[in-house]
Amino acid sequence: MKNRLFVVLMCLSLGILAQEKKELPARPKLIVGIVVEHMRYDYLTRFWDQYDHDGFRRMVREGALCKNTVFENAYNQDAVGYASISTGTYPSRHGIVGNSWYDRFAQRMRYSVEDVHSKTLGAANDNGNFAPTLLLAPTFADALKLNTMGRAKVFAVAMKESGAIFMGGNAADGAFWFDPKSGKWISSSFYGSELPYWVTRFNDRNESQLALDKKWELELPADQYYMSLPDANEFEVGLMGYKKAFPYFFADLKGRTNDFSLLRYSPYGNTYTRDFALSAVINEKLGKDHDTDLLMVGFSATGFLGEYYPPNSMEMQDAYLKLDKDIGYMLRFLDQQIGKDNYLVFLTGNTGEPQSQAWLRKMKQPTGLFNQNTAIPLLRSYIKALYGQKAEWVKGYNELQVYLDRDAIWAAGKSLEEVQLRVADFLSTFEGVAYTATATDLQRGNMNRSAMLELENSYHPKRGADVYLVLQPGWGQTNETTGQNSPYSDQTQVPLIWFGWKIRPSVVESQVSPIDIVPTIASMLNMAKPSATTGGVIHGISVE
């Protein structure tokens, strides 16, 4: 009798469990993609003991952690990272080869999201004259729209316009970014004729001013920042090159800018982004119908802060401690509004962040600066000596990439390949240059395979340069506008965490790439991936 009773009870228990599993939705009601600008993988591990239990630690504890996530391209700047994550492929296909690049046809530098036909929505300036028209590949957001016959609701939010635009793609219902002049969330006429009512209402609350009125103080006692250097150390530039010690009074510093740009350099800029993104969930009723919706959120303040503070500063650690609280708040909100089993979150970074040159020198690491202000004038003189003084031959230089005057080369009857090789050979002699490559090398596959992959992924035949430089590990260039210009792990390795819906605790040790996010989600949803995607499905994520 006891045995029969035990069997009955076991069957009932298994039946209940089976029923619970059946109740999990076949698709998540809402996907939330979180991209943290310049988030090195070690920000997750170095500050682990100081994080709360319901932010990053909850995501890792209850979700799937990909420990070895690496961008496999050489020039992974902000816009490039956002575009690669969103399309599931590299610049060789999506065409965003940098934050900006030299346009040979227009004979000028072109910004990655510029669009002459788009106008600002929400402010009386040109900070919204942007669109994804230069993006050559469809995004996951675009594919989701196609898969649901346009019913899926898609929104993207980031303080940086390239983040919001590339995450939202072409078919987004809304993409919004921060206008430093007005302190408001704005958009582009590409996405509609006017801002949604709730965006205008959010802007009217003057939240940006309230965020700037806050005093930035340490989240924890100073002695708990033992994984960072002391405050106001010699390796920091300081906010606006001026303030480099806690506490920070943004209200006092605002007088130096006369606008709201300082909010982008404040951890409260991330909180401001969080609140706006969650407002979109409520007002657009995301995750409330039968079709999977998508919300993409870019936390940009960490990227902006990297201009003034190195990875081992107290300011950077504190920014991540505050972001950790923002992440925890978001997860609790989604639990209540959508239900944990109904939403899927992935979190990653759009690029890494190099250490400061001064710190590397002090720690006796290989380091140095490639001086383009010396190298490029010498290159111009050298090429003129070879081919004549009548033409410039070198059209431009941008972020370790050299553009030649192809019209002058062809008019003079010279071989483009020969000139490219001459330039590459000359630049390879400079200290700090690990190797060079020409566009011809990349098109024909003439390089050593181990060195070629990252450059091939960064090269687009219509937008690429003629000659590429890769510096030695630890090296940078003088007066650079971005530090994300090498294929090395400090600038390419980022975290990747999956959380919610059917995700169960697991760890993926094998190397994956952020371009694998899109095909992995497409596989989870049993839908077609975007047409240009080259990433693969990540194996090892435990899914119920």
- How many C-beta neighbours within 10 Å does residue 265 have? 26
pTM here is 0.94
Question: Are the C-beta atoms of 299 and 37 separated by less than 8 Å?
Answer: yes
Distance CA 301, CA 290 (A): 34
Distance CA 460, CA 385 (A): 30
Question: Are the C-beta atoms of 492 and 129 separated by less than 8 Å?
Answer: no
In the sheet that 293-299 helps form, which strands lie side by side, from edge to edge?
Answer: 120-121, 184-188, 174-179, 154-158, 293-299, 30-36, 343-349, 493-500, 64-70, 506-508
Confidence at 252, pLDDT banded by 50, 70, 90: confident
Overall average pLDDT of the 120-145 stretch: 97
Above pLDDT 70, what percent of the chain? 94
Q: Quick check: 25 pLDDT over 90?
A: no
SS3 498: strand
Overall average pLDDT of the 173-194 stretch: 97
Q: What is the DSSP string of 276-334?
A: HHHHHHHHTTTT-SSSPEEEEEEE-HHHHHTTTS-TTSHHHHHHHHHHHHHHHHHHHHH
In 169-219, alpha helices (H): 197-204, 207-212
Cα 538 to Cα 72, 100, 293, 513, 535: the distances in Å are 16, 31, 22, 9, 9
- Give the long-range contacts of residues 389-397, CB within 8 A, separation 24 or more: 393/419, 394/423, 395/102, 395/104, 395/107, 396/102, 396/109, 397/372
Start-to-end Cα distance in the chain: 35
Distance CA 236, CA 245 (A): 10
Confidence at residue 447, expressed as pLDDT on a 0 to 100 scale: 64
Distance CA 317, CA 219 (A): 10
Distance CA 174, CA 202 (A): 15
b/e 198-227 (16+ beta carbons within 10 angstroms → b): ebeebbeeebbeebbebebebbeeeeebeb
Which residue type is seen at 469? L
Overall average pLDDT of the 67-78 stretch: 95
Confidence at residue 481, expressed as pLDDT on a 0 to 100 scale: 63
Q: Quick check: 20 pLDDT over 60?
A: no
- Nearest Cα to 131, choosing from 97, 165, 101, 100? 165
Distance CA 335, CA 344 (A): 11
Confidence at residue 424, expressed as pLDDT on a 0 to 100 scale: 97
Classify 318 in phi/psi space as left (phi over 0), alpha (psi -120 to 50) or beta: alpha
The residue assigned the tokens 């500050």 is 47
DSSP3 helix / strand / coil % (the chain, rounded to 5)? 40, 20, 40
Q: What is the DSSP string of 42-69?
A: HHHHHTGGGS-TTTHHHHHHHSEEEEEE
Confidence at residue 2, expressed as pLDDT on a 0 to 100 scale: 42
Question: Are the C-beta atoms of 468 and 504 separated by less than 8 Å?
Answer: no
Overall average pLDDT of the 221-231 stretch: 95
Lowest mean pLDDT, pick from 261-265, 487-491, 521-525: 487-491
Q: Quick check: 507 pLDDT over 80?
A: yes
Confidence at residue 249, expressed as pLDDT on a 0 to 100 scale: 87
Confidence at residue 6, expressed as pLDDT on a 0 to 100 scale: 44
Confidence at residue 458, expressed as pLDDT on a 0 to 100 scale: 94
Overall average pLDDT of the 71-78 stretch: 93
Q: Quick check: 295 pLDDT over 90?
A: yes
Q: Using H for helix, E for strand and C for coil, what is the string for 390-453? A: CCCCEEEEECCEEEECHHHHHHCCCCHHHHHHHHHHHHCCCCCEEEEEEHHHHHHCCCCHHHHH
